[in-house]
Amino acid sequence: MDLGLRPEAQALLMRVKEMITEEIMPLEEAYHAEIGQGDRWGYTARQAEILEGLKAKAKARGLWNFWLTDSDKGLGLSTVEYAYFAEEMGKTPMGAEVFNCNAPDTGNMEVFERYGSAAMKEQWLKPLLEGEIRSAYLMTEPDEASSDATNISMRCERDGDDYVLNGEKWWASGAGDPRCKVYIVMVRTGGDDAPKHKRHSMIVVPAGTEGVEVLRPMQVYGSDDAPHGHMHIRMTNVRVPAENMILGEGRGFEVAQGRLGPGRIHHCMRAIGQAEAALEMMCRRSLQREAFGKAIAHLGANYDIIANARMEIEQARLLCLKTAWMMDQGDMKAAAPWIHQIKVVAPLMSLKVIDEAVQMFGAQGISQDTALAGMWKNVRTLRLADGPDAVHRRQVARTELRKYTQERI
Ligand SMILES: Cc1cc2nc3c(=O)[nH]c(=O)nc-3n(C[C@H](O)[C@H](O)[C@H](O)COP(=O)(O)OP(=O)(O)OC[C@H]3O[C@@H](n4cnc5c(N)ncnc54)[C@H](O)[C@@H]3O)c2cc1C
């Protein structure tokens, strides 16, 4: 089992690290200061100039779409190798988007690439790969416990050459962005007589189709995450051509599985990057600030806190790399239990490390003056987004128990 990087991937990673520290990080503050200066759900000229300028540089240097593992359109990285890139990109909020590796677009591109028709590839995948438009994934519904996706109830009826959609979705990440032009929507097409995992479908709805109403941004601990946003959306008699159905009616779970596996591990890789960034901040701060006659690092149990953070990051990273390696073997069914494990382990670990860093910073740690509060907020959401911890634990336990019983679990 090789969990390392080939020399060419290592060289590429160095270029990414350099661009992040020398060009992206110095512009983060100026970029975020622009949000709310004009329309919160738009981009000021300065904001667009920063983001699009960095994207253009990354693209021109060939530092683009690293997430496309196992594809002739990408740079030929394995999932293991991509883990190192995602970790670096996770260290800074703009990192992933500058290299066109951000959620939910990567998951949606994955769907178009693997399951989309030629027309979908042309209309949606092409501009997404170029970073010209953005997309959203609409599964979760306000009135259904959506951690069990078999509950999804948005109606989608065939009417002549069209499908007609009715219902509500919420937490559609990225749907607030004016550049978001397309939604991939999970809908119910089958009746109760169909097998449980054949009742749902995935369909493409262009943003702005008649009958689509963006009702409000959902807030994450009081923040609307503008201009990205996690939107509450209502669809009333939204009509799309029948060819917008992905793969065919009843194949929604097949598509969801293909989408969520890579998406989940990418979140975990970036969460590990955030933990690394928090540990570095904690160490620097605790060495530089003094209390009771000593640098804070040398007080109380702070060596233990720092040591535990290092050890827990290393454990999570190894599990993440092993999961990536399992995915690289090509059998997603075999990799699934590992994806479930890391989806619980990485956010919990990262949240703990960031929380310790907040504590070591004192009051400043929860304020707007460091990146820590935003990092905590983002990582906390990962314990829900792409499935709550309990759902992933359930799958890990089922895999374990099946080794010892013939019962259906
Ligand atoms: C910031 C953020 C971004 C998101 N982005 C998107 C997005 O882009 N697109 C999208 O479709 N959704 C998105 N989501 C929604 C997310 O995927 C759902 O919130 C999640 O799947 C859980 O669904 P639910 O909120 O309906 O919780 P519910 O299904 O109501 O579950 C609530 C709780 O019930 C408990 N529970 C559930 N199942 C079990 C079990 N088997 N065992 C024990 N306890 C259990 C758990 O404690 C769980 O947290 C996002 C969420 C957040 C916070």
Cα→Cα distances 228→218, 220, 233, 238, 340, Å: 11, 12, 14, 23, 27
Judge whether 123 and 139 are in contact, CB under 8 Å.
no
Of all atoms in ligand 1, which is nearest to the CA of residue 186? 11
Cα→Cα distances 181→136, 246, 313, Å: 8, 17, 37
Length of the chain: 409
Give the domain ranges of the chain: 7-102, 134-246, 253-402
Does ligand 1 have an atom closer than 6 angstroms to the CB of 104? yes
Judge whether 188 and 196 are in contact, CB under 8 Å.
no
- Cα separation, 8 vs 268, in Å, equals 24
Query: How many CB atoms sit inside 10 A of residue 2's CB?
Result: 11
Find all residues with CB under 8 Å of 182, minimum gap 6, and list them.
Answer: 108, 124, 133, 135, 136, 204, 205, 206, 207
Judge whether 213 and 367 are in contact, CB under 8 Å.
no
Measure 388 CA to ligand 1 centroid, in angstroms: 5
| DSSP-derived secondary structure letter, 370 | S
Residues 281-284: contacts with CB under 8 Å, at least 24 apart: 281/357, 281/361, 281/370, 281/371, 281/372, 282/306, 282/309, 282/353, 282/356, 282/357, 282/360, 282/361
Find all residues with CB under 8 Å of 299, minimum gap 6, and list them.
Answer: 291, 292
Q: Give the dihedral of Cα atoms 252, 258, 262, 265; nearest 10 deg.
A: 60
Judge whether 59 and 305 are in contact, CB under 8 Å.
no
Please give the CATH topology (third level) of the domain spanning 134-246: Butyryl-CoA Dehydrogenase, subunit A; domain 2 (2.40.110)
Q: Which amino acid is at 351?
A: L
- Cα separation, 119 vs 117, in Å, equals 5
- Helix or strand (DSSP H, E) at 233: strand 230-241
- Residue 75: the pLDDT is 79
Residue from 137, 140, 169, 409 whose mutation best tests the ligand 1 pocket (most atoms within 8 A of CB): 140
Nearest CA to ligand 1 atom 48: 388
What architecture is domain 253-402? Up-down Bundle (1.20)
Judge whether 335 and 323 are in contact, CB under 8 Å.
yes
| DSSP-derived secondary structure letter, 122 | I
Judge whether 111 and 204 are in contact, CB under 8 Å.
no
pLDDT in tens, 124-175: 999 999 999 999 999 999 999 999 999 999 999 999 999 999 999 999 999 9
Q: pLDDT of the chain along its 409 residues, tens only? A: 999 999 999 999 999 999 999 999 999 999 999 998 989 999 999 999 999 999 999 999 999 999 988 766 777 899 999 999 999 999 999 999 999 999 999 999 999 999 999 999 999 999 999 999 999 999 999 999 999 999 999 999 999 999 999 999 999 999 999 999 999 999 999 999 999 999 999 999 999 999 999 999 999 999 999 999 999 999 999 999 999 999 999 999 999 987 777 888 999 999 999 999 999 999 999 999 999 999 999 999 999 999 999 999 999 999 999 999 999 998 888 999 999 999 999 999 999 999 999 999 999 999 999 999 999 999 999 999 999 999 999 999 999 999 999 998 8
- Tokens 């501009």 identify what position? 127
Of all atoms in ligand 1, which is nearest to the CA of residue 146? 26
Measure 285 CA to ligand 1 centroid, in angstroms: 35
Find all residues with CB under 8 Å of 302, minimum gap 6, and list them.
Answer: 286, 296, 360
Measure 122 CA to ligand 1 centroid, in angstroms: 32
Measure 220 CA to ligand 1 centroid, in angstroms: 13
Phi, psi of 356 (to 5 degrees): -65, -40
Tokens representing 196? 């449980």
**CATH, domain 7-102, list 3.40.718.10, 3.40.1440.10, 3.20.20.120, 1.10.540.10:** 1.10.540.10
Does ligand 1 have an atom closer than 6 angstroms to the CB of 106? no
Tokens representing 181? 């032009």
pLDDT in tens, 312-359: 999 999 999 999 999 999 888 899 999 999 999 999 999 999 999 999
Judge whether 268 and 200 are in contact, CB under 8 Å.
no
SS3 readout for 294-354: EEHHHCCCHHHHHHHHHHHHHHHHHHHHHHHHHHHCCCHHHHHHHHHHHHHHHHHHHHHHH
